[in-house]
Amino acid sequence: MSRIKIYDTTLRDGEQSPGVNLNKLEKLEIAKQLERLGVDIMEAGFPASSEGDFKAVKLIADTIKDTSVTALARTTKSDIDTAWEALKGAAEPRLHLFLATSPIHMKYKLLMTPEQVVEQSVNMVKYAKQKFPQIEWSAEDATRSDWDFLAQIIEKVIDAGATVINLPDTTGYSTPAEYGRMFHFIRETVPNIDKVSLSCHCHNDLGMAVANSISAVENGVTQVEGTINGIGERAGNAALEEVAVALKIRSDFYPYETGLKLNEIKRSSDLIAKLTGMYVQANKAVIGRNAYAHESGIHQDGVLKNTETYEIITPELVGVSSNTLFLGKHSGRHAFKDKVLEFGIELTDEQIKDAFKQFKQLTDHKKEVTDDDIYTIIMEIKTEA
Ligand code: KIV
Ligand code: ZN
């Protein structure tokens, strides 16, 4: 099994979600939970972006010792110096430098020629190398960049001292086949590529961030970047819990493993949802409220006989205490009978039939039938007898 590193950017790219604003202590609480979760690297913020971010990165770098802490910087001396001041207390200071390489970003955002982008990247990697042993260099908007240009600049920043090359799908524009092919091309074309690790960083604008990340791994990437619950700019980043669980569940097919303690996923997801105010959609893969809930009679019957009939992930794997049989209009008598037994109330077969009929009538009028509703029905039948 090859070990895939998990690079968490919940505190940096995740915090870029519109409306999210975490204070220093909330960030530290999340950082501690990410350490318990076992991420390999956490990106704690963007120190040059604000005084608050600087302080939060510094606090995290000074506190977290079992996980490598990194931070983002533009390719300027002052950003790099500020990042160093924030990170120098870290167990292993590591810098994340980025500069855009796509024609649209170079022309309209940076107002720079491709030659200037190469020169600035190389110079700033060299500058940062005087302090940071580990430097990740990201080609922002890599997936809309010219692949030959990418190959040229990557070769040069590796020579300048970069240790990780990240090719982000900044706008969530790529597809699994294309994103994988880009990494394959870079590995085939750049002569010194074996000196560095390759990293992927996917946004979810077309809903493909997790699939793109898995495709990158299939094409030689050994570090996956993303966030817990998939939070982030616009439609978010690749959801790390989905990537890690997919690799675990499909280890029959993929020879990759991560170091995540999967049973810490639920706790991490809940904490981040609570502190960011970005609640997880009910049907979200791996961690949504309905991910281990079964409503239809046929499914409930199957799960009661053998959970594997409809569950490919056991809830315990990700720290969810158990599955739930949701009683709604599609539910069958088996699950209903189980619920009656759960209440510890004995009913005759005739009474169960009657209660089940009343329950079904209620589901036609009420979106969610609660345990209290069911209890009331049962007790009425019981006391009528
Ligand atoms: O999406 C992106 O391109 C980024 C970079 C800063 C790496 O977040
Ligand atoms: Zn990003």
Nearest CA residue ID for atom 4, ligand 1: 170
Our answer on whether the CB atom of 46 is closer than 6 Å to any ligand 1 atom is: no
Query: What is the rounded average pLDDT of the residues 46-58?
Result: 98
Our answer on whether the CB atom of 138 is closer than 6 Å to any ligand 1 atom is: yes
Nearest CA residue ID for atom 2, ligand 1: 170
Upper half-sphere CA count for residue 38 (Cβ side, 13 Å): 13
> Are 277 and 19 spatial neighbours (Cβ–Cβ below 8 Å)?
yes
Give the contacts of 84 (CB within 8 A, at least 6 positions apart).
93, 95, 131, 132
pLDDT tens per residue across span 98-154: 999 999 999 999 999 999 999 999 999 999 999 999 999 999 999 999 999 999 999
How many residues are present in the chain?
385
With the most atoms of ligand 1 within 8 angstroms of its CB, the residue from 7, 9, 12, 13 to mutate is 13
pTM of the model: 0.92
Structure tokens at 368: 């969610």
pLDDT of residue 366: 87
Our answer on whether the CB atom of 201 is closer than 6 Å to any ligand 1 atom is: yes
ipTM associated with this complex? 0.99
With the most atoms of ligand 1 within 8 angstroms of its CB, the residue from 104, 140, 212 to mutate is 140
Report d(CA 201, CA 237) in Å as an integer: 8
Q: State the DSSP string of 231-277.
A: --STT-B-BHHHHHHHHHHTTTT--EEE---GGGHHHHHHHHHHHH-
Q: Which atom of ligand 1 is nearest to the CA of 140?
A: 3
28-48 residues labelled b (16+ CB within 10 A) or e (exposed): bbbbebbbebbbbbbbbbbbb
Annotated binding-site residue numbers? 13, 201, 203, 237
pLDDT mean across residues, the chain: 96
pLDDT tens per residue across span 151-182: 999 999 999 999 999 999 999 999 999 999 99
Our answer on whether the CB atom of 170 is closer than 6 Å to any ligand 1 atom is: yes
Annotated binding-site residue numbers for Mn(2+)? 13, 201, 203, 237
pLDDT of residue 195: 98
Which one, of 260, 272, 264, 339, lies nearest residue 304 by Cα? Answer: 339
pLDDT tier at 368, thresholds 50, 70, 90? confident
Cα(171) to centroid(ligand 2), Å: 8
pLDDT of residue 385: 66
pLDDT of residue 86: 98
Determine how many CB atoms are found less than 10 A away from the CB of residue 245: 23
pLDDT at 213 over 70: yes
Cα(138) to centroid(ligand 2), Å: 10
Report d(CA 354, CA 105) in Å as an integer: 67
Our answer on whether the CB atom of 183 is closer than 6 Å to any ligand 1 atom is: no
pLDDT of residue 365: 87
pLDDT of residue 267: 97
pLDDT of residue 287: 97
Which one, of 193, 120, 114, 129, lies nearest residue 158 by Cα? Answer: 193
Nearest CA residue ID for atom 1, ligand 1: 170
- Local structure of 84: helix, strand or coil: helix
Give the contacts of 214 (CB within 8 A, at least 6 positions apart).
176, 243, 246, 247, 254
pLDDT of residue 325: 87
With the most atoms of ligand 1 within 8 angstroms of its CB, the residue from 10, 16, 98 to mutate is 98
